[in-house]
Amino acid sequence: MLAPGRRRRRGALLQRLRGTWRVLLRELSAFGVVGGVSFVLDLALFQYLYAHAGAGAVVAKLVSTTVSTSVAFAGHRWWSFAGRARTGLRREYLAFAVVNAVTLLLGLAIVYVVRHPLGQESALVLQAANVVSIAVGTVIRFVSYRTWVFPAAPAPRAPAGLATGRLSPADR
């Protein structure tokens, strides 16, 4: 049987772990929803611009990607990672754009390696490489957003005398 002090510490640890998992699950779920909405927006906007508005394919893709990336940023900033520190809109948007550019280049590199050095021409094999690149990019984006784009808020500081039991008059 555990001593009362150890039981309390163990209960506090379990409660903190449950809270951490709850936050991670909420962020991951919102990340998926925002990503799905942005993906559909990108497809729909590209289709509209190219097929109905008369824009060229490259211009349509540039506009649809820029709009969907901006929507994704807003969704992640104000929903997926809303409980995290705010480090400035410009800094966050720039970091977000850099992370997305890096994962785009990684995806291009994966498809390129499968197609050219490995010599694969099968649409099925190239689509599999594309899916792998999307999966790898998604994991990298989620971790990067949590780590660099929207970092965790600093933990609240306890009053200096709390550990010793001697609180200053200002901390009481």
pLDDT in tens, 87-135: 999 999 999 999 999 999 999 999 999 999 999 999 999 999 988 999 9
Between CA 87 and CA 82 the distance in angstroms is 12
Residue 28, domain member (yes or no): yes
Q: Do 88 and 137 contact (CB within 8 A), yes or no?
A: no
**Among 65, 83, 101, where does a domain finish?**
83
Question: Is pLDDT at 166 greater than 90 in this prediction?
Answer: no
Q: How many domains does the chain have?
A: 2
Show the domain range for 50.
Answer: 9-83
Does 50 lie in the same domain as 29? yes
Residue 92 in domain: yes
Structure tokens at 70: 């901006």
User: With a threshold of 0.85, does the pTM exceed it?
Assistant: no
Does 96 fall in a domain? yes
Instruction: Say yes or no: 43 and 72 in one domain.
Output: yes
